[in-house]
Structure 1
């Protein structure tokens, strides 16, 4: 684990056990260079403790890059709660997590992520002020989707020569809060939707509301489309799956879509344009960060509107240097984080 922390320049890793509630949690603080670390809390089952810690570290690094490229005065962090199938009192568990977060004295500010909700954040808020995405603050999912939608238009312009999504074939992988909201916006723009999710009820709803075409989860990545939008968990793009892609571009809301940076080079070699995840999906962080600072909705919306221009800048830079946008984005982020 120390080797992973060194390779990602992670500042600290915090572990907590609360026997009374069954809480087993990891908080990774990647950087406090530009402010306190901010990041979501995942509540998922993991095959082992090392997998949970690795997930926290890599996601925290992505949050640092996301905050830096979005121009936010925060560093990156991530909380991971290892899900136990036999939790007696979920509210008490998240209140215990809140006490753990409070013990960090404001170094980490938590929000929602996969497996958690505003209700969980309300429970955390019983024990600490260092929390976002509460019922009072609002769910950031719609703003995440707004940013991804704008990013898809910018990606379409860069790869296909037009940001008009009418008739564009978009494959949305994962219909969680962000994925479903994105599908709604794509449908309103006239896109032809292909969808998959492990929950058949969500797929059925997308078929009814958006005239979406259902595709089996294992088949979606190889289905011909214009844009593939990963909106579930990360690591969907690996050496095998990249060779199955039949699309012009990848642009979605999932964090850590690439298993390694070398996968981005494979996408580039195949002529598939990749929209770096920590740029295109920064809308949620922008919303919770600025909301936490007391910004009004107009200021938040104006900041969200900068996502397409950031992507366009990275695409242009990548084309000029004949490099993957992922490598360019990482270079720009690390320059912002480590050179000041």
Structure 2
């Protein structure tokens, strides 16, 4: 087991030229295990509020540089997510480079767990794209700093979906009044383990739902359960009231924002904006956007609850408070003429500034 530095040609941590150059990550660990083929990066962004918690993404990145950029962005997002949710956790994330369908093995997962263990509780890992509760069961054989296993709270897909639904309902009430989502058309992009739960919650709330997903099998399963759902090639430019990005990020670009017909954007995907300037474009078109790290914090709240031994009822109640945070952000945004992104960052900064000093936390 060795720790390696990135190649000289890679986009590094401290000498970047993008928005991450001022992100201030505390620690970035490059992990390599020759025997299992593991190549992973663990990034700790900010631990002022508590130990870092974030999922492990297993993905076939085109390069180590691309993997590093992703883990830096994702870990920063986890800091924002925890602070916005008002929970005592810091921001961290990990990525494993490779195709989970072909390179994931028990040996590799155990090797990854050993690296997590070297951080001695500064980072708790969980599931993300490409990893499952079953994978975490294997990781847990070599470290105790893992949440979301089958013996823990299990898959966090429903909690994430419930948080997004709570955020979306709050945004809809802000936009259209007490009727909220009833009778509104919501386009869900991506119907994986979060999007599928979200569809069910939306239908129960009286919304009309359209979906788009490149997986024919996923679409067939969903339509089998909910034949009233409309299936579209794309929901980004469809005639919708709400666009819910629930797949990979960066779908909100200058071009896609110009094509949007939806008045509200709220979804589970991380890093929905191509860059921060897109928030201004959304505001310019008077589109109500709920920052992703606010809306999708439900899964973090669930797995974080394992650390403090919270009951499922306590977790669900806490996930529901995401709606209160959304109302605060949108009210401040409307009153001050600022984008929800700027206001959410202000809320995060306030909560981080109020954190006790590290030495005082013991």
Name the SS for the 2:36 alignment partner: coil
> Do the aligned residues in 1 keep the contact of 2:55 with 2:93 (CA within 8 Å)?
yes
> Do the aligned residues in 2 keep the contact of 1:154 with 1:163 (CA within 8 Å)?
no
2:44 corresponds to which residue?
Answer: 29
Question: CA RMSD, aligned part only?
Answer: 1.4
> Do the aligned residues in 1 keep the contact of 2:52 with 2:90 (CA within 8 Å)?
yes
Name the SS for the 2:46 alignment partner: coil
Deviations 1:267-294 (A, max 9, x none): 0000100011111111110010012221
Q: Distance in 1 between matches of 2:103 and 2:290?
A: 41
Q: What is the TM-score with the length of structure 1 in the denominator? A: 0.96
Residue 91 of structure 1, CA deviation: 1.5
1:3 aligned onto 2:18: no
1:199 aligned onto 2:178: no
Residue 122 of structure 1, CA deviation: 0.5
**Match among 192, 209, 222 for residue 225 of structure 2:** 209
**Match among 141, 145, 157 for residue 126 of structure 1:** 141
Residue 86 of structure 1, CA deviation: 7.8
Residue 87 of structure 1, CA deviation: 4.3
Deviations 1:34-63 (A, max 9, x none): 111100110111111111011101110110
Name the SS for the 1:310 alignment partner: helix
**Match among 241, 250, 262 for residue 277 of structure 2:** 262
Q: Distance in 1 between matches of 2:87 and 2:354?
A: 16
Q: Which shows bigger deviation, 98-107 or 85-94?
A: 85-94
1:151 corresponds to which residue?
Answer: 167
Residue 338 of structure 1, CA deviation: 3.9
Q: What is the TM-score with the length of structure 2 in the denominator? A: 0.90
Q: Distance in 1 between matches of 2:28 and 2:236?
A: 34
Deviations 1:304-332 (A, max 9, x none): 12111110000000001101111100121
Q: Distance in 2 between matches of 1:13 and 1:239?
A: 31
1:82 aligned onto 2:94: no
Q: Distance in 1 between matches of 2:326 and 2:210?
A: 24
- Taking the TM superposition and a 5 Å limit, the aligned residue runs for 1:244-323 are 244-323=259-338
Q: Distance in 1 between matches of 2:275 and 2:101?
A: 34
User: 1:338–1:169: structure 2 CA closer, same or farther, 3 Å change rule?
Assistant: same
Q: Which shows bigger deviation, 301-310 or 224-233?
A: 301-310
Name the SS for the 2:261 alignment partner: coil
Q: Distance in 1 between matches of 2:296 and 2:107?
A: 31
Residue 298 of structure 1, CA deviation: 2.2
Which residues of structure 2 form unaligned runs of 5+? Answer: 1-11, 356-362
Residue 126 of structure 1, CA deviation: 0.5
1:232 aligned onto 2:242: no
The count of residues paired between Structure 1 and Structure 2 equals: 338
Q: Distance in 2 between matches of 1:164 and 1:141?
A: 23
Residue 89 of structure 1, CA deviation: 5.6
1:13 aligned onto 2:34: no
> Do the aligned residues in 1 keep the contact of 2:58 with 2:95 (CA within 8 Å)?
yes
Residue 212 of structure 1, CA deviation: 1.1
2:6 corresponds to which residue?
Answer: none
Deviations 1:215-263 (A, max 9, x none): 11xx321111000000011111111211111101100011111121110
> Do the aligned residues in 1 keep the contact of 2:211 with 2:231 (CA within 8 Å)?
yes
Name the SS for the 2:187 alignment partner: strand
> Do the aligned residues in 2 keep the contact of 1:153 with 1:163 (CA within 8 Å)?
no
Name the SS for the 1:26 alignment partner: strand
Deviations 1:85-109 (A, max 9, x none): 7846612111110001001111110
